[in-house]
Amino acid sequence: MNEGKYLYCIINDSQGRNFGPIGIGDRGDEVYTLCYRDLSCVISSTPMIKFVISRKNLVAHEKVIEKIMGDYNAVLPVRFCTVATSTEEIRNLLMKNYQVFKNSLRSMDNKVELGLKVFWQNMENIFEEIASIKRIKRLKEKLIKSSISVNTNGKVSLGKKVKEVLERKKEIEAEEILKILKPTCIEFRRNKIIGDKMILNCAFLVDKTHVRDFDDHVEKLNKIYEDRLKFKYIGPIAPFNFVELDLKWGQQE
């Protein structure tokens, strides 16, 4: 099988470095830098295959980037499973996109990403709160009194109203959390909400000097809402949601 080069991230460095046999794919491939001027791409050898999007492979990809983050102030993560056919292809990429990459590294200097997902702990309580709202109570009472034919349409109408109230409730509570966190971050991205329990799925770009402050705010929120909300907090990680590179060979980014 043909060998290629797996790309992890781009950093400011003019010296060749070796980070050890930590490459993706369980072969013990050495992870090292390929340099062009004062820019480097962190790579390892790999078979020319498409890696399955699995937890194991994603963790392997991210662990390499986390290791690099320990030594460098700015890291531009490359999208998972980006493979080049040769080192020459990567060097050409660095050359063609040199200024773009340098500008991005400058903008990400000393910055990290923090991730936060927030969930309601008890959905039964949430639906009880919704059921106590006047317009929902009126619809339920009307439904109970209605005939069987109206009953079917009434259930659909009630279901839609409950869904609307649920989404509005999520937005209100999410905004209360963001109001506390936004002043500490440089930028934030709201990602897709999955399921009824999740009310917030957000990535925050934070200066490294403010990470402790952000941690304190999350801890404060956790105490305030300990009986109502569950917080899943991760980081610091590379700024995947803000600068992840989706590289196209032979094209300028």
Is pLDDT above 70 for 100? yes
Question: Do 185 and 202 sit in the same domain of this protein?
Answer: yes
Taking the complete model, does pTM exceed 0.85, yes or no? no
* Residue 252 domain-assigned (yes or no): no
Question: Do 119 and 215 sit in the same domain of this protein?
Answer: yes
Tell me the per-residue pLDDT of 19-65, one tens digit each, with 9 for 90 and over.
999 999 989 999 999 999 999 999 999 999 889 999 999 999 999 99
d(CA 209, CA 75): 16
Tokens of 72: 């460098």
Question: Do 231 and 129 sit in the same domain of this protein?
Answer: yes
* Residue 245 domain-assigned (yes or no): no
- Residues 161-176 have a mean pLDDT of 88
Last residue of some domain: 109, 139, 170? 109
Percent of the chain scoring above 90 in pLDDT: 75
What lies within 8 Å, CB to CB, of 231 at 6+ separation is 116, 117, 118, 218, 221, 222, 225
Percent helix, percent strand, percent coil in the chain, to nearest 5: 45, 30, 25
Question: Do 32 and 100 sit in the same domain of this protein?
Answer: yes
Domain that holds residue 125: 113-237
Last residue of some domain: 79, 109, 139? 109
Tokens of 129: 């709160």
Q: Are 221 and 53 in contact (CB under 8 A)?
A: no
Tell me the per-residue pLDDT of 68-89, one tens digit each, with 9 for 90 and over.
999 999 999 999 999 999 999 9
Lowest-confidence range among 34-43, 161-170, 179-188? 161-170
Helices of type H across 80-235: 87-96, 98-107, 123-131, 134-145, 148-181, 211-224
Q: Report which DSSP code applies to 245.
A: B
Question: Do 127 and 225 sit in the same domain of this protein?
Answer: yes
Question: Do 8 and 87 sit in the same domain of this protein?
Answer: yes
63, containing H or E segment:
helix 55-69
- Residues 174-197 have a mean pLDDT of 95
* Residue 246 domain-assigned (yes or no): no
* Residue 251 domain-assigned (yes or no): no
Number of domain units in the chain: 2
Question: Do 66 and 19 sit in the same domain of this protein?
Answer: yes
Q: What is the pLDDT of residue 164?
A: 84
Question: Do 134 and 216 sit in the same domain of this protein?
Answer: yes
How many CB atoms are located within 10 Å of the residue 215 CB? Answer: 16
Q: Are 105 and 9 in contact (CB under 8 A)?
A: no
Question: Do 147 and 100 sit in the same domain of this protein?
Answer: no
Tokens of 110: 């000393």
Question: Do 41 and 157 sit in the same domain of this protein?
Answer: no
Last residue of some domain: 109, 139, 168? 109
* Residue 248 domain-assigned (yes or no): no
- Residues 101-121 have a mean pLDDT of 96
